[in-house]
Structure 1
Amino acid sequence: MTGDPHKISFRNVSKVFGEGANAFTALKNLNLDIADGEIVTVVGPSGCGKSTAMNIVAGLTEVSAGECLVDGHPVSGPGPDRGVIFQQYALFPWLTVRENVAFGLMLQGMDKQERNARADHYLELVGLGDFGDAYPKTLSGGMKQRCAIARAYAVNPSVLLMDEPFGALDALTRVRLQDQLLDTWSKDRRTVMFITHDVDEAVYIAHRVIVLAARPGRLQQIIDVDLPFPRTEDIRLSPEFTAIRNQVWRAVYHRDETAAA
């Protein structure tokens, strides 16, 4: 036991790229705790360090100062406890959908029958149960992203790190995948850190919205989303949703909360 009640913690995290006159501070003194089973979305202007923060949790980027903890342990590199989903699907075109989902399990040494059974389970979970034998080229963009999500789930991470995973999709598909993500989360309650530029998306799926400010990247505001789960279309249209969305917009643009939306 580490005594740390948080799933993810940033402790005075700073990240500087480059040296001397070319140095750029992507993050400065970030302090943030994310609870086990919580969905947090991260928003802010370009250059505020959203993706840098996620890559630090993923172990893809080292901190320049401070420390990032997962389950109370310092992050020292990538690990199977953290699944990463990017905007680009990065599916292997020569593998079937099932084989793509099972790829990480194969690397772990799991036998073929077991990994295919697990892959099929997660394909069912994301609504692709009938497409295991299909190849990526036959899938729509939304289906490819669901395949990528199933692949991340298959290795059984306790943390999902999602960097604008729906950003390249049309509006209707994006809404459907937001609902799919929440439906999947309701079944296993994994911790989710979700990067987005879409304020409506940020509010709809999250327990809390983390707003970062740019130059240097730093914590601007944390906004609680006091809306019930499961989230529905009626919630999107509610005055409570609108009020929170407007609060996030004002925070992103550094406006006083009493200013007009």
Structure 2
Amino acid sequence: MTSTTAKISVQGVTKTFALGRDTFTALDDLSLDIADNEFVTVVGPSGCGKSTLLNILAGLEEPTAGLALVDGVPVSGPGPERGVIFQQYALFPWLTVRQNVEFGLRTAGVPKAERRRRAEHFIALVGLEQFADALPKTLSGGMRQRCAIARAYAVDPSILLMDEPFGALDALTRVKLQEQLLDTWSKDKRTVLFITHDVDEAVFLANRVIVMAARPGRVYDVIDVSWTTARDERFRLSPEFAALRNRVWHSVYHQDGPTAAPQPSTTI
């Protein structure tokens, strides 16, 4: 895949931050292409620049050098084609689920009837129909995150940028939300970049897993996940999953130092 056909293209991106009289390099000459409707997860050692990469793609940070492009156009700030979901739910506590999902549509001037139609569609898509009139404080953590996902989908972004969205949830809820997210994605495709620290989560969700090197951050390994049947318990318990998990785990936690060269991609 070349950058001319990529939905997202990161070309030689470097990002440095000032630390008093010194500088800290979060990303170093990082390049990565993501295809339209591809689901990519990003893992790596703590502090390797995963969130910095997402913030650059979201338009919340500017690269020190290099380019980040969406549909061939350089990212110059936040845009409606990119929905961002963080670990914190960021819901308005005084608004109901429906009102939260409608919020971006209302600020965009979408007529009331159309707002309602689109909100109800995506509320149903994430399984919150019975809670459309509930306030966030009455919902579980997983339900709040589903509301945040519905709100992101409602404004019709072509890209979802997700930064540890399930990181604060208990293990069972996390597994359920992973399956729910894949179900939603299969019905209403988007290009997804999903940041996680969880190796199992990275393998379960992705078409490709990008492993970033320890600081300064860059691509260390790219691992294809070519499981073609349902992503469910059978996949989690399969030998293929175990092999992929071990490959990713080794790439994350047994890197050969900060100057290690990227490893070749593997398809299973």
Q: Shared fold (TM-score greater than 0.5)?
A: yes
Aligned counterparts of 2:16 and 2:158: Cα–Cα separation in 1: 28
1:150 corresponds to: 150
SS at match of 1:32: strand
**Hey, what's the Cα distance between the residues in 2 that align with 1:21 and 1:224?**
41
| Residue aligned with 2:242, SS | helix
Stretches of structure 2 that go unaligned for 5 or more consecutive residues are 257-262, 264-268
Where does 1:124-135 land on structure 2 (aligned, <5 Å)?
124-135=124-135
Mapping 1:182-221, distance limit 5 Å:
182-221=182-221
Matched residue SS, 2:129: coil
What is the 5 A alignment of 1:1-261? Answer: 4-18=4-18, 21-255=21-255
* CA deviation after TM superposition for structure 1 residue 20, in Å: 6.7
Q: Is the CA contact (8 Å cut-off) linking 2:213 and 2:255 kept in structure 1?
A: no
Report how far residue 117 of structure 1 moved. Answer: 1.6
- Separation in 2 of the partners of 1:240 and 1:81? 35
Q: 1: distance between equivalents of 2:73 and 2:254?
A: 34
Using the aligned pairs only, state the percent identity: 70
Q: In structure 2, the residue corresponding to 1:217 is in which secondary structure?
A: coil
* TM-fit CA distance, 1:115: 0.7
Deviations 1:59-113 (A, max 9, x none): 1110100000001110000000000000000111111110001000011011222
- SS in structure 2 of the partner of residue 23 of structure 1: strand
Distance 1:169 1:216 in 2: 29
Amino acid at match of 2:136: P
Once residues 92 and 19 of structure 2 are traced to their aligned partners in structure 1, the CA distance between those partners, rounded to angstroms, is 37
- The CA deviation at 1:255 is 4.8
Q: TM-score, normalised by structure 2?
A: 0.92
Tell me whether 141-150 or 18-27 shows the greater mean CA deviation.
18-27
Q: How many residues of Structure 1 are paired with residues of Structure 2 in the alignment?
A: 255
Moved more, 58-67 or 113-122: 113-122
Deviations 1:151-188 (A, max 9, x none): 00000000000000000001111011101111111112
- Distance in 2 (CA, whole Å) between partners of 1:108 and 1:248 is 41
Which segment is superposed worse, 47-56 or 210-219? 210-219
CA offsets per residue over residues 11-49 of structure 1, 9 Å max, x none? Answer: 000000116733110100001000001000000111100
How high is the TM-score relative to the length of structure 1?
0.95
| Distance of aligned partners of 1:88 and 1:20 in 2 relative to their CA distance in 1, 3 Å threshold | closer
Q: 1:202 and 1:48, CA in 2 relative to 1: closer, same or farther beyond 3 A? A: same
2:260 corresponds to which residue? Answer: none
Q: Give 1:138 deviation, angstroms.
A: 0.5
Give the secondary structure class of the aligned counterpart of 1:143.
helix
Rounded Cα–Cα distance in structure 1 between residues aligned with 2:251 and 2:239: 18
* Poorly superposed stretches of 4+, deviation over 4 Å: none
Distance 1:183 1:12 in 2: 34
